[in-house]
Amino acid sequence: METNVKTVDSYFDGGLLGLVGVSILGFLVTFFTLGICLPWAVTMKEKWVAEHTVIEGRRLQFTGTAMGLFGQWIKILLLCFITLGIYGFWANITIKKWVVKNTRFA
């Protein structure tokens, strides 16, 4: 039995030059602000990734802001300090959860 289900491709249309540019800018901003602007760098990169990602024919949109991530960043820093760095293992998961929560279809 054959079904007439039409599949729509998912793809990423970002290029190396754009990724390198966003990554370098994010690194420089983070480095020169001693990590204070890391949330801005993360949101800039996630926005770029979302703008170049299409899932089943629908482009993604990242709606998170640096100020929105800043609260999470302060919490991560405090918990890392209190636990002598042990919370650092969960830091990437915490940030990834925040990124996914702020990503939707355009």
Q: List, for residues 62-78, the tens digit of each pLDDT value.
A: 999 999 999 999 999 99
CB proximity list for 51: less than 8 A, separation 6 or greater: 14, 59, 60, 61, 62
CA 22: distance to chain centroid?
12
Residue 15 has pLDDT above 80, yes or no: yes
Whether residue 32 lies inside any domain: the answer is yes
CA gap 58, 61 in Å, rounded:
10
Enclosing domain of residue 24: 11-105
Based on the structure, what is the number of domains in the chain? 1
Gyration radius (Cα) of the chain, Å: 17
Residue 6 has pLDDT above 90, yes or no: no
Whether residue 23 lies inside any domain: the answer is yes
Q: What is the pLDDT of residue 7?
A: 77
Query: What predicted TM-score, i.e. pTM, was given to this entire model?
Result: 0.84
At what angle are helices 38-51 and 66-82 packed, to 10 degrees? 130
